[in-house]
Structure 1
Amino acid sequence: MINKFLYPNGGSETYIFKLGDYLKSQGHEVQYFGMEHEGRCVGNRVNAYTSDMDFHGGSKLAKLAYPIKTIYSTEARKKLRLVLEDFKPDVCHLNNFNYQLTPSIILEIQKWRKQGHPCRIVFTAHDYQLICPNHMCNNPNTGENCEKCLGGHFLNCVKGKCIHGSTAKSAIGMLEAEFWKLNGAYKYIDTMICCSQFLKTKMDSNPLFAQKTVALHNFVDKVEWKDTPKKDYVLYFGRFSKEKGIDTLVRVCKELPDVQFIFAGTGPLESELSGIPNIKNVGFQRGEALEKLIREARFSVYPSEWYENCPFSVMESQMYGTPVLGANIGGIPELIEVGKTGALFESGNADDLKEKIQTLWSNHALTDQYTENCKAITFDTIEAYYKKMLPIYGAAK
């Protein structure tokens, strides 16, 4: 398993830890390669890792080399070679690697393969990193979704200042993308796993990738069904930020004073929730407290305005028996059975969101039926996902 972070940091780390653990439980040997970090919780026998690159902290001297090291890493190649020679893997499963590890690791794996070591290179795309330098297909300055770089037109990243609003950082991102497009390292990847059909369509804008992509929704933990009495509130749980559609949702909340909303999370737009009588902000929740909030909600709302891929919140809500009103954008529609376990509205359209909330809120029989339908939800568990991964891992054998 190759991932730049080897400590709990986000969705890709949860993915590699859970998949790695299950592979071990089925008799496979798994080792990990990535950056060294004080929080690292997995590793490899030879203790070979790249130096920690802290873009937000660290010394100014160390940062001087970052523009070059984020494009090509000799250190990553050397350290990975130590692991390859010791472990001799049948599969190298890549995850998030750009900037900290760089695609140079693909060249090292290919060099090792050419020396007589059969090994599959599999890549799971958790975002748009291979087709969009800022990884989101969204311009953070305008908040608008953007596909200008698709097809390899990466100069648009600089024109739009798409990386942290900085011309310099965007130029580095553009150079990194152009360098690896010309280098051709990605042709050595055997299979590219996309966590939504939507992501696959965007990846397929690159003719090379189109020959390699498969769509597999992420796996979820098994959840015990519980018949839970519903309470009269609509739940939003997640990050309070513009790309998540919080601005639009809050505007609608103000126009529906008779509907009670509970917001669970944190983020830069948290102050927007203050002083609105029908919004109760319970802050960031996890574990049993979050489960209880989800199970007791009449329905949840997922108003995202960017190209979400396979948001776990949408799956989690339905697994706990709570229907979802989701934005019709990205991979969200793939996760909701419209008219059975939830509904969709036009992303960013406050009027449509308001109308759909009113429809669900005023019809208890409808939401009760949707809740009942959630019993039949069949998202892949880790066991089912593993069975789909085996042919991908072993297709070259």
Structure 2
Amino acid sequence: MLAHNPSSQHVDAFDGRLAIVSHSHPSISKGGAEISAFTLYKGLLDLGIDAVFIAACSEDDRGRLSLGSSREHAVFYDTRIYDHFYQLGSAFTTSALRELFIKLKIDVVNFHHYLNFGIDAISKASIRLGLPTFFTIHEFLSLCHHHGQMITRPTRLLCHKATPEACHTCFPEYSRQQFAIRQGLVSRTFQEVSGFISPSRFLAEIYIKAGLPAKKFAIIENGLAHRPSSPMPPRQRHGDGAWVYGFFGQINPFKGVDTLLKAADVLVKNPSAKDRVRIRIHGNVIGQSEDFMQAFDKAIRTNNVVEYAGPYNNANVSSLMSECDYVVVPSTWWENSPVVIQEAFAVGRPIICTGIGGMAEKIVNGVSGLHFRLNDSADLARVILEGSNNNLYENLLAGVPDTLDQRDMAKRYLAFITTSIKRRVPNGIAISTI
């Protein structure tokens, strides 16, 4: 049975030094996993817990790294010595991480990723020291070689289960035997982990179907470091003023901006919609093809429904979202618990999302937002128009749920970790969760 948002009654019972380990530092990269890890670390400090933050950093980024205090540490790695298929790092990196655990007298470890360290670092650097070791799952990289997205290649269809046969179909350059070995490396490592944390039930259930024991899982939502003290009031629209639909995030092949742009093309051709709707896109353009960039630039120039607001600082996201009526999450992969959902809910904004995976779990259709069909720009345009209704909007505003801050998140982690450690058997494997 999955533990969902375990209670915080065990916070005072935790006694020891806890290391939060991330595959990158927020001063280098601001992806969801590293932001979540750093938010947890800050929440632990707020609670008076003896916590440290350890990040992997490439030698090339050494000059960009900015550690905030003596509690933050980096393990440097050489990007040339990393196997992205088997997810194996260098012996030097593993040894450096192990020695840091010893030097800092770490008692408990929570990995938020093994990327850049190598999956073998979980066992060699932590578990073999006898340290209770917990792993927070943020995506499907340990199951899926396609960027951990669980979508097929090259057709980009949703994948429901990663098997050596299915993975070989996507990557014929690797044999079924190689994929079986890859899965075996992951399985043997995860068997030794004391407990798993997932921000969504959907993600946890995928891993449980892949063979991980449900009794080792807890569902704990990501917290926010910059949560407003209360939801912001609805945006004021004057008369027949346009409804504003905001996109926030990296503009990459998996986030669905191409679907959003095609929906804008549908809307601009609708006489009743083109003056009622504005789509505002915030974010960095990353990893897009030349064809996409040409289409993106053309849409911004010629479609008066769309505007590009450029990159943004996460510290300003609440203010930017408050200037929108809805936040749109049109991702083309399953997603887990993207931070943009919590950010939107924190300012009191309903969400329009692809009705799959972690998005469909977090956003209840007709209650806290609206769903549209995967990759269906016409359906997205329909839902955007449907959302431009005052009565519906007021109902959705009332359905927006509360969010966690960094302290709430840390309390739930401590409750799960403390209870799991108490229920460990002599060989160090957790046998149940709360």
Instruction: Give TM-score, length-normalised by structure 1.
Output: 0.82
Matched, 1:139 2:171: no
Deviation, structure 1 residue 334 = 2.4
1:147 aligned partner, one-letter code: H
Aligned residues: 371
1:5 aligned partner, one-letter code: S
| Cα separation, 1, equivalents of 2:251 and 2:216 | 35
Task: Return closer, same or farther for 1:198/1:173 CA change in 2, 3 Å cut-off.
Answer: farther
Matched, 1:239 2:250: yes
2:326 aligned partner, one-letter code: F
| Cα separation, 1, equivalents of 2:114 and 2:94 | 12
Q: Equivalent residue for 1:21?
A: 42
Matched, 1:157 2:163: no
| Cα separation, 1, equivalents of 2:128 and 2:142 | 21
| Cα separation, 1, equivalents of 2:387 and 2:107 | 51
Q: Equivalent residue for 1:192?
A: 196
Q: Is residue 307–residue 331 contact of structure 1 (8 Å, CA) maintained in 2?
A: yes
Task: Return closer, same or farther for 1:154/1:95 CA change in 2, 3 Å cut-off.
Answer: farther
Matched, 1:6 2:25: yes
CA deviation string 1:167-203 (max 9, x = no partner): 37x9998477245147x12211011111111101111
5+ residue gaps in structure 2? 1-19, 269-273, 423-434
Q: Is residue 50–residue 75 contact of structure 1 (8 Å, CA) maintained in 2?
A: no
Task: Return closer, same or farther for 1:7/1:246 CA change in 2, 3 Å cut-off.
Answer: closer
Q: Equivalent residue for 1:128?
A: 140
| Cα separation, 1, equivalents of 2:54 and 2:252 | 32
Q: Which of 54, 78, 91 is equivalent to 1:53?
A: 78
Q: Is residue 114–residue 121 contact of structure 2 (8 Å, CA) maintained in 1?
A: no
Deviation, structure 1 residue 6 = 3.2
Work out which structure has the larger RCO, using CA pairs closer than 8 Å and 6 or more positions apart in sequence: 2
Deviation, structure 1 residue 287 = 5.3
Matched, 1:107 2:107: no
5+ residue gaps in structure 1? 55-62, 114-118
Q: Which of 411, 416, 427 is equivalent to 1:387?
A: 411
RMSD (CA atoms): 3.1
Q: Which of 311, 324, 331 is equivalent to 2:338?
A: 311
Q: Equivalent residue for 1:272?
A: 295
Deviation, structure 1 residue 278 = 1.7
Q: Is residue 34–residue 101 contact of structure 1 (8 Å, CA) maintained in 2?
A: no
| Cα separation, 1, equivalents of 2:352 and 2:26 | 33
* Aligned positions of 1:62-81 closer than 5 A: 63=80, 65-67=81-83, 70-71=87-88, 73-81=90-98
Task: Return closer, same or farther for 1:15/1:217 CA change in 2, 3 Å cut-off.
Answer: same
| Cα separation, 2, equivalents of 1:218 and 1:47 | 21
Task: Return closer, same or farther for 1:211/1:42 CA change in 2, 3 Å cut-off.
Answer: farther
| Cα separation, 1, equivalents of 2:138 and 2:264 | 32
Corresponding residue SS for 1:96:
coil
Q: Equivalent residue for 2:397?
A: 371
2:228 aligned partner, one-letter code: V
Corresponding residue SS for 2:51:
coil
1:384 aligned partner, one-letter code: D
1:78 aligned partner, one-letter code: S
Q: Is residue 95–residue 125 contact of structure 1 (8 Å, CA) maintained in 2?
A: yes
| Cα separation, 1, equivalents of 2:176 and 2:327 | 40
Deviation, structure 1 residue 158 = 4.1
Q: Equivalent residue for 1:263?
A: 281
| Cα separation, 1, equivalents of 2:252 and 2:360 | 21
Deviation, structure 1 residue 270 = 4.4
Q: Is residue 135–residue 196 contact of structure 2 (8 Å, CA) maintained in 1?
A: yes
Corresponding residue SS for 2:223:
coil
| Cα separation, 1, equivalents of 2:74 and 2:318 | 37
Instruction: Give TM-score, length-normalised by structure 2.
Output: 0.76
| Cα separation, 1, equivalents of 2:293 and 2:53 | 37
Q: Is residue 35–residue 101 contact of structure 1 (8 Å, CA) maintained in 2?
A: no
Deviation, structure 1 residue 45 = 7.8
